[in-house]
Amino acid sequence: MKSWLAWGGVIGLALLAFALREGARASHRAQPTELSPEWAIDDPDAAYHLRRTSLTLHSGHVPGSDRFLNHPAGSPIPWPPLADAIFAGIARATGALHGEGPMRVVNEARLEAVLVHVPPVLGALTVLAV
């Protein structure tokens, strides 16, 4: 039993190291004006979380409603805000937001290149915690 736990920890650490290395490489490749087609998000749910993270970076808080849902009246966003708040904190820490005040600009290529690695890192951390 203990050997399985040890191997699980080793595998988790290896996955975490790989995800961090790939995340660092991807964030250095992304330029402010280029799109990163190799990391393109094509899942509608993931794309909406990317939009919600971008809105959070611009406004400073996770929006509770969005006019893009049931336009023009808008609709409440059905997902809890914790994941998007975490994504926005990670994106802000990795330099996806540039500028000050109303002139803030989100570097979408860097945002996508960084956030695509968050689920594997969270999965590796979950393995380590278990």
Q: Note the pLDDT tens digit of each residue in 9-62.
A: 677 677 767 766 766 665 555 454 454 455 567 778 888 888 898 888 888 889
Give me the pLDDT at residue 78, please: 85
Give me the pLDDT at residue 33, please: 46
C-alpha to C-alpha distance for 102 and 94, rounded to whole angstroms? 20
Q: Give the pTM.
A: 0.63
C-alpha to C-alpha distance for 57 and 66, rounded to whole angstroms? 15
C-alpha to C-alpha distance for 84 and 55, rounded to whole angstroms? 10
Percent residues over pLDDT 70 in the chain: 71
Give me the pLDDT at residue 32, please: 46
Q: How many CB atoms lie within 10 A of CB 50?
A: 21
C-alpha to C-alpha distance for 41 and 12, rounded to whole angstroms? 25
